[in-house]
Chain A
Amino acid sequence: NFMLTQPHSVSESPGKTVTISCTRSSGSIASNYVQWYQQRPGSSPTTVIYEDNQRPSGVPDRFSGSIDSSSNSASLTISGLKTEDEADYYCQSYDTNNEVFGGGTKLTVL
């Protein structure tokens, strides 16, 4: 089994850029797609990035995703931060035998 490790929390000011990391403990990050979900309090998660770097329709291009094989990690970058981006963010991936979520990162936009 592998794990996905995220920072517990990040904070940044409106208008700035923030990056949330997601490090895979074993196996290559590039072997299986990574997704990113946003969850606001009291709501179901919604997708902001799928297949490493794809945005669903309706998600602004301020959200971008990438993977880095050298650090075996994926990243979610949000630019031009808005107060409405304040939420929990989860990365998710899989392999042949496992489905895994990261522990989640609380983004505070102050």
Chain B
Amino acid sequence: QVQLQESGPGLVRPSQTLSLACTVSGGSISSADYYWCWIRQPPGKGLEWVGYIYYTGSTYYNPSLKSRVTISVDMSKNQFALNLTSVTAADTAVYYCAREDSSGWIDYWGQGALVTVSS
């Protein structure tokens, strides 16, 4: 059974960088069959794509966040990571890591990590 677990600070100061990691267990992040995703959900609002990374290192970023987002992968730790720079209160959200297959199906989600941007 594949499991994904987010980790990182729950509070980030405005203008600083939000950094989260996602540890994958029960499956290899180097698989050619999957994309490794970050999705966020502001309190009381809907789901929003942040982006994804493929095992080759190729990435997709939401155009509205592209200038501030970096997603990277660490094969040795079976982890992938999210960096979001210059955060504001609008970046406050539950951040989910997830696995997407080649048909676009997100078949596994992490439990989510609430990140609050506040001074």
Contacts and interface: CB of A to CB of B under 8 A. Distances in A.
Contacts of A46: 109
A7 interface: no
B103 A50 contact: yes
Name A's interface SS.
strand
B49 A101 contact: yes
A46 B112 CA distance: 13
Given A90-B47, A99-B49, A100-B49, A47 B63 contact: no
Contacts of A50: 103, 105, 107
Interface in A83-110: 88, 90, 92-94, 98-104
Nearest to B63: A1
Nearest to A96: B60
B110 interface: yes
A99 B107 CA distance: 15
B111 interface: yes
Given A44-B111, A45-B47, A35 B105 contact: yes
Interface of B: 39, 46-49, 52, 60, 62-63, 96, 103-107, 109-112
Q: Sorted from nearest, which 7 A-B pairs have the closest CB atoms? A: A50-B105, A44-B109, A104-B46, A101-B47, A99-B49, A94-B104, A33-B104
